[in-house]
Amino acid sequence: NDKQSGARQFPRYQPAMNANSRGLMLLRSDLYQALDKDQLSVVYQPKISLRTGLIVGAESLLRWKHDSLGMISPETFIPLAETSGLIEPIGEWVLATASAQRKCWQREGVPPFLLSVNLSGRQLHQAMLADKIKHILDVSGIEPTDLELEITETFLIQDIDNSVKLLNELKALGIKLSIDDFGTGYSSLNYLNRLPIDTLKIDRSFVKELPQSRERLDLVRNVIQLSHDLGMSVVAEGVETQAQLDTLNTLNCDEIQGYFYSPPVSAGQFRALLENQPLIGKEYLQH
């Protein structure tokens, strides 16, 4: 009858889908208050030079501790922030917080390092982004050359002409730029060479298969070689094992980041890492 055929139009999994999207909607509305409620924080993950074994940089990573749900992954809430107009204020807060921390350590005589902050593709579309970044740098008092912005490959290749224009504006501030998650966007390096990029970060999905996968090994070797030819340095993300470190060392990779040396840690813990260098024993360094 009519009732039955009507009921059949609704797939069985719909309640679950509703629960999920409803959950995300609630989460989004909570995110509006996260800044005011002091639920956001920044953690730091070291980048280590394979030449010196020293910490040469740190990636700032955002954390959200929800009052009833606990820690929410950035993989969940960054997309929510991006689709609700919150990524701009949140992104500015991360930059201001990390820059102030960097300046504080500088004053205290803690060893210097390049501070990296992730920039969402959405933020690139923000009006007067370069002016806003310059203002945040001026307020914090750090040098532009001490800051690097990480921008994901997939975003940069969506509209390469526009990316060239926007990145040139940022470069003019004197800051450094890196391509994040390289390899996930299927673009060639020669294509990306139009962008004013200082550093390329090889996505951890590639590092994961080193050294077992012959194919990945050749690919990473070529990426590193070509990056160097184009004047870029290379950071490998997601280094978790000694074997991966050894392989990347042999392939002439410049820096590594990953759980093998340290997960992202609180500011206090990061400071302790900076003061207890080198993290890599001499036996593993490039000669």
Q: Does 190 bind ligand C2E (CB under 6 A)?
A: no
Nearer to ligand C2E, 58 or 189 (CB): 58
If we measure between CA atoms, which residue out of 171, 177, 167 comes closest to residue 200? Answer: 177
Say which entry of ligand C2E, Mg ion, none residue 240 contacts (CB below 5 to 8 A, set by partner kind). ligand C2E
Start-to-end CA distance of the chain, whole Å, equals: 80
User: How far is it, in rounded angstroms, from Cα 147 to Cα 231?
Assistant: 19
> Beta strand pairing status for 176-182 and 114-118?
unpaired
> Taking the complex as a whole, how short is the minimal distance between the CB of residue 203 and Mg ion, in angstroms?
6
199 binds, among Mg ion, ligand C2E, none (CB under 5 to 8 A by kind): none
* 65-86: burial string, b at 16+ Cβ within 10 Å, e else: eeeeeeebeeeebbebbbeeeb
Which residue in the shown chain puts its C-beta closest to Mg ion? 150
* 108 or 239: CB nearest ligand C2E: 239
Residue 264 as a binder of ligand C2E (CB under 6 A): the answer is yes
Q: Which stretch binds ligand C2E (CB under 6 A): 138-146, 161-169, 185-193, 235-243?
A: 235-243
Amino acid letter for position 142: I
Site membership for ligand C2E, residue 238 (CB under 6 A): yes
String marking each residue 11-50 x if it binds ligand C2E according to CB under 6 A: ----------------------------------x-----
Nearest to 101 by CA among 90, 89, 83, 117: 117
